[in-house]
Structure 1
């Protein structure tokens, strides 16, 4: 599905999706950071999901290809993903990625016949300069528990020496505040950076990430969403020929 604008979006506050400028976007991010819940608020989970967004390399204004890849839990059975290609209203600006990607993900969410009870986002949650990475924004817009799983550091620094074994972790700290953890998920592999999005505690987020990694560096949900988003980008490119 290709959507030229985000005019169909009606989930969440308008300012949380379509602020008029970066100053308003910064205000919206601070509002969302205050609104996000950092305690567990979810029941038994029958479906969880990963989300990822793909775009052409260095194309800051072109379409984004969003995917939500659900997984039957605890069977770990991959279900059909929901994918959307959308032309965002704003170009890519570091620190404001959610305003490009969340509207497309919200449309993809509507296409899921069974809504996941937990979403792992390929990106940061509170590990963000204004404590509002894409996992926070998506969780609030959809009112669903979310976890941020970042592959690189956006802000802050690890505090302490990270061990080499799976499960080893150290706090990720920014301006004296713990905003997540640097987490080793596979022996001697590069760490990933886990932070809360919405409606989940940091300890629960870490436990879910470790369970879903199962010997890999990244969670299974992230791999599934990454593959689905890339497949949608390839399909879209082929359709333009």
Structure 2
């Protein structure tokens, strides 16, 4: 992992860092993908800036949970749309470092390229850990048409006329999720993995399991 010694403390510094790192994102598969394990991440924080982060690793073939790790931290970085990574990344990385398994793929409950500066949380994390990452968001940044009603249907998400991701229907007649590349993966492969992880529900199993544990830890004040 390429963990920085310090993090931006102001929105201006954070935006400058996003602009500087954005050209390093690789929006394709460097090698034929062979994902056996996949990690899901989630973070939650309270009004006092206390942060809880969780990493949950699943066997992609069986969807069995094979590893979990948690971390707790604190953030003074302000809440600014488009800069949430700077509130959550330091604690998330602590959780990833505590895993006993190095996942082949990381799925973030956030944006990747579907971000105003084309550098969402999933892109930033992917560069830091040098692993394939993708974002699966509940809400969209950009324009899209509703995909067809059947599971597996998708439509393109665009920002300023540029394709940045896909609205992907993971359940028939259920609101789509919004998938975008983070790092070292292409959009076709990203959508394939999301569908593999949604056999029953709208959200990937990685996200669902991480979310449940994360919220419980924050409520209990332990991690």
TM-score, normalised to structure 2, is: 0.93
The C-alpha deviation readout for 1:10-61, integer Å capped at 9, x for no partner, is 83345xx6124222211111222211110113653332110011123xx2x4
Q: Supply the distance in 2 between the matched residues of 1:49 and 1:131 (Cα, whole angstroms).
A: 22
Paired residues for 1:120-139 under 5 Å: 120-139=107-126
Q: Supply the distance in 1 between the matched residues of 2:62 and 2:22 (Cα, whole angstroms).
A: 33
Counterpart residue number, 1:165: 150
Counterpart residue number, 2:95: 108
Counterpart residue number, 2:11: 22
SS at match of 1:131: coil
Q: Supply the distance in 1 between the matched residues of 2:136 and 2:9 (Cα, whole angstroms).
A: 28
Q: Supply the distance in 2 between the matched residues of 1:39 and 1:124 (Cα, whole angstroms).
A: 17
**5+ unaligned residues in a row in structure 2: which ranges?**
none
Aligned: 1:183 with 2:174: no
Paired residues for 1:220-239 under 5 Å: 220-236=205-221
Q: Supply the distance in 1 between the matched residues of 2:23 and 2:56 (Cα, whole angstroms).
A: 28
Counterpart residue number, 1:46: 36
How many pairs were matched up?
222
Counterpart residue number, 2:83: 96
Q: Supply the distance in 1 between the matched residues of 2:57 and 2:174 (Cα, whole angstroms).
A: 26
Conserved 8 A contact 2:125-2:133: yes
Conserved 8 A contact 1:11-1:106: no
Conserved 8 A contact 1:33-1:126: no
Conserved 8 A contact 1:41-1:145: no
1:65 to 27, 31, 52: 52
Conserved 8 A contact 1:65-1:232: yes
Paired residues for 1:140-151 under 5 Å: 140-151=127-138
The C-alpha deviation readout for 1:199-236, integer Å capped at 9, x for no partner, is 00011001000111113101111111111211211221
**5+ unaligned residues in a row in structure 1: which ranges?**
1-9
Aligned: 1:12 with 2:3: yes
TM-score, normalised to structure 1, is: 0.87
SS at match of 2:197: helix
